[in-house]
Amino acid sequence: MGADLVISCVPVGASADVAKVISRDLAPGAIVSDVGSVKAAVVRNMGPHLPGHVHFIPGHPVAGTEFSGPDAGLPDLFVNRWCILTPPEGADADAVAQLTAFWSALGANVECMGAEHHDLVLAITSHVPHLIAYNIVGTADDLETVTQSEVMKFSAGGFRDFTRIAASDPTMWRDVFLNNREAVIEVLGRFTEDLIALQRAIRWGEGDKLFELFTRTREIRRGIISLGQETDAPDFGRGKGR
């Protein structure tokens, strides 16, 4: 009660219930935001339950690891990471500036975009990669009964990296996929088409196509590192036990 800034940090599916609970205690002029990985659904779910005397500016700090909860916090968690704000049409400019300053003070780079555009961008950069990770680890688990534990025993770097993000919180990711289904399905369709083309290239021994794809994607990975959004250190630079 009386807070200038309130940030909802719950799975997307619980955002409406949180808005209902906090609405009666929000001070006039307060800024209300969130950290959900889906934005259009948050706008739909939270907005109607918030009083007109507050400024609702959804947000998404694109940071974190596969760990969750207070114990997973790091002092430099947001440093040089992006925080995306999706202010609704007509949002108060001063309130947006204040929220931008808040995230900047934590070390984040802040950018504003529309909620629907955010959801499409995150579908390809985060949501579908997590879905693929969950799926391939599930496939390996099914195969485990055939190979008598050899899949887990001889996990190479690629599979080990997949298992990292597949260890993410199941409640959070269930809600992400259910609340961003349109964008995820659209990106999955494109991914499926590209995967079939890749399968065809392998089947027909089209090495030039494979080499071209692998070269292009390697440069994209190097670009991510050069922008400071990842490290080329072993184990993603996260060290033991993290």
Q: Please report which confidence band the pLDDT of residue 73 belongs to, taking 50, 70 and 90 as the band edges.
A: confident
pLDDT at 223: 62
47/146 same-domain check: no
pLDDT tier, 149 (very low <50, low <70, confident <90, very high otherwise): low
107 and 188 share a domain?
A: no
Which of these three, 113, 147, 175, is where a domain ends?
A: 113
Q: What's the CATH code of the domain at 56?
A: 3.40.50.720
For position 230, what pLDDT does the model report? Answer: 58
Higher per-residue confidence, 140 vs 192 = 192
Q: Report the DSSP pairing between strands 59-62 and 109-112.
A: unpaired
> Does residue 144 surpass a pLDDT of 90?
no
Mean confidence (pLDDT) of the chain: 87
Residue 102, domain extent? 5-113
Q: Average of pLDDT values for 183-192?
A: 95
Calculate helix-pair angle for 181-203, 207-226, nearest 10 degrees: 140
Pair 103, 123 in one domain: no
Among 103, 59, 58, smallest CA distance to 78 is for 103
More confident residue, 210 or 237: 210
Average pLDDT over residues 157-183: 87
**Residue at a domain's end among 113, 129, 155:** 113
Instruction: List, for residues 190-229, the tens digit of each pLDDT value.
Output: 999 999 999 999 999 999 999 999 898 887 766 665 656 5
165 & 105 share domain: no
Both 73 and 143 in one domain: the answer is no
Let me know whether 108 and 11 are in one domain: yes
Looking only at the bridges linking them, the beta strands covering 82-85 and 59-62 are antiparallel
Q: Which of 59, 88, 113 is the last residue of a domain?
A: 113
Residue 24, domain member (yes or no)? yes
> Are 61 and 122 part of one and the same domain?
no
**Confidence class of residue 156 from pLDDT cuts 50, 70 and 90?**
low
**139 and 90 together in one domain:** no
Q: Look up the CATH number of the domain holding residue 222.
A: 1.10.3660.10
Do 105 and 150 lie in one domain? The reply is no
Q: Same structural domain for residues 121 and 44?
A: no
Domain contains 242: no
Q: How confident is the model at residue 145 (pLDDT cuts 50, 70, 90)?
A: low
Q: What b/e readout covers 157-169, taking b as 16+ CB neighbours within 10 angstroms?
A: eebeebbebbebe
**Shared domain check, 131 and 106:** no
Tell me what pLDDT residue 159 has: 79
Residue 85 lies in a domain: yes
pLDDT at 241 over 60: no
Short-list 59, 43, 55, 38, CA closest to 110: 59
Rounded to 10 degrees, the C-alpha dihedral 15/16/18/20 comes to 160
- Together in a domain, 15 and 96: yes
Q: pLDDT of 57-70, one tens digit each?
A: 999 999 877 777 77
How many distinct structural domains can be found in the chain?
2
| Residue-level pLDDT at 234 | 46
